[in-house]
Amino acid sequence: MTDAASPSTPAADALEARFRRVSAIEGALGVLSWDRLVMMPAGGGDARAEQSATLGVLAHELLTAPEVAVRLAAAAEEPLSGWRAANLAEMRRRHAHATALPSSLVEAMSRASAKSEAAWRAARAESNFAGVRGPLGEVLRLTREAAAAKASALGMQPYAALLDQYEPGGSVSRIEALFAELEAALPQVLEAVLERQARDGDPVLPAGPFPVAAQRSLARDIMTTLGFDFAHGRLDETLHPFCGGVPDDVRVTTRFAESGFVSGVMGVIHETGHALYERGLPSAWRGLPVGEARGMVLHESQSLLMEMQACRSPAFLGHLSAMARTAFGGDGAAWEPDNLRRIYTRVERGLIRVEADEVTYPLHVILRTRLERALLAGDLPVGDLPGAWGEGMRALLGVTPPDDARGCLQDIHWYDGAVGYFPTYTLGALAAAQLFAAAVAADPGIPAAIGRGDFTRLLAWLRPNVHERASSATTDGILQAATGAPLGAGPFLAHLRRRYLDG
């Protein structure tokens, strides 16, 4: 990264200093958001909404100040190359998004999202969509306004403008093509897998209860095994698992249930994948756009690579079997590695996205993508969301949610203002399969090492090929360099057939 010392670049220098200030504010917002979801007492919601809105406006004003446009134009004439040139492109993109929205709209969206998220928590607890219908409607109204403004400024369709916030350069038409390929292939795969499972019989479920304290201890041990650094992060519990904070202070959350440990363990592994990506970003570019994660497709690829590719493999599940036996004092057939493999690779037509297997998961995402596009376009009235959700679940997965909590209230995203995020989950699953296959091709000893609880070889490949690339290239550029091909569905579908049908 010797190009960080490029000579005679006063405009770029000033921009980099400004964007580091923006990053510091956004990092503080991230920690405040973590606190709101994990630690904050219920009565603190209004005050936190005010704090977050104020900080959001400060960051927005730093990005949209008149001198930023002047310096961006001047920096384009300066001798920048390599990472600094990529950073200028990222600063220009961030500026274009920010200047599309007035500060008043940014503030209104922050307040509305905070109130909607709080209403969602109460509505979910009561399984009553009516309790959040009004707040969600306000969030969507403001989101449509923001999408229209960004679409006009960026020269793209409204949904594409929202997608670009989470996956820079993401193509709606490409998502449609990839999702169509998956929707055509997955029902046949699902039927074949279910038929095979029926012939093999059900696995034996370990008998509980499984004390939360024991699950928490096991989770920390697994995180350490994967490479998580507790000197730069922590594990907590919340309603909806997530990874937040900043690269030097990564906050992982999950949820545990004493009735079973399967979901909690994999939730921790998933979020730890996100955390490892954040911690692996290049410290030399900390606080600058080029030093941030490329986008949510690669971010989700890192969580799903750990959860689905590595940690649901027979090799790792043999290692996990021994860890679980020790954690819960388990004994007998239920704790054998092959039985645990059958539990963790169980496929079913389920209701809950975060608990879905990797065969049905893309269908959950396809539904949400369709619904959020319809909500944004105004083709689906907010009040009709529960019914449309139920119809979509029946069509794609053959199941019907019995209540709102297991239907349209299960995910936080829309209620928190995140429209355009959902496609990145499945695109991330495709990238995860592609990257893991490339890693194993480059180092065939990786699976055996994982079976010993040694993730250093996998990380040794991921760090230079994904994590340390940060935003120095496009998602496809990073994938092309790492795997030899742009993002595609082929490696993912081949992985499913190999794991669930060929073994």
- Which residues have a catalytic role annotated? 271
Q: What tokens appear for 232 in the block?
A: 């730069």
How many alpha carbons lie under 13 Å from residue 391 in its C-beta half-sphere?
Answer: 8
Pairing of strands 249-254, 233-237: parallel
CA distance 268 to 503: 27
Q: How far is CA 135 from CA 129, 394, 407, 411, in A?
A: 11, 27, 18, 15
Q: Which of 150, 174, 191 is nearest to 369 (CA)?
A: 174
Q: What tokens appear for 30 in the block?
A: 């991230």
3-state secondary structure of 246: strand
CA distance 416 to 462: 31
Q: Which of 316, 327, 383, 369 is nearest to 131 (CA)?
A: 383
Measured in whole angstroms, how far is the alpha carbon of residue 24 from the centre of its chain? 22
Pairing of strands 243-246, 233-237: unpaired
Residue count (the chain): 503
CA distance 469 to 485: 17
Query: Does the CA dihedral 76-78-82-83 come out positive or negative?
Result: negative
What is the residue whose two structure tokens read 């090929």? 465
Q: How far is CA 417 from CA 33, 116, 427, 468, in A?
A: 13, 8, 21, 29
Q: Are 158 and 147 in contact (CB under 8 A)?
A: yes
Q: What is the DSSP string of 358-396?
A: TTTHHHHHHHHHHHHHHHHHTSS-GGGHHHHHHHHHHHH
What residues pair up with 245 in beta bridges, in sequence order?
A: 250
3-state secondary structure of 284: helix
Q: Are 372 and 139 in contact (CB under 8 A)?
A: no
**DSSP designation for 260:** B
Q: What tokens appear for 186 in the block?
A: 């997955």
CA distance 419 to 242: 17
- Report cis status (omega within 30 of 0) of the bond before 401: no
CA distance 373 to 376: 5
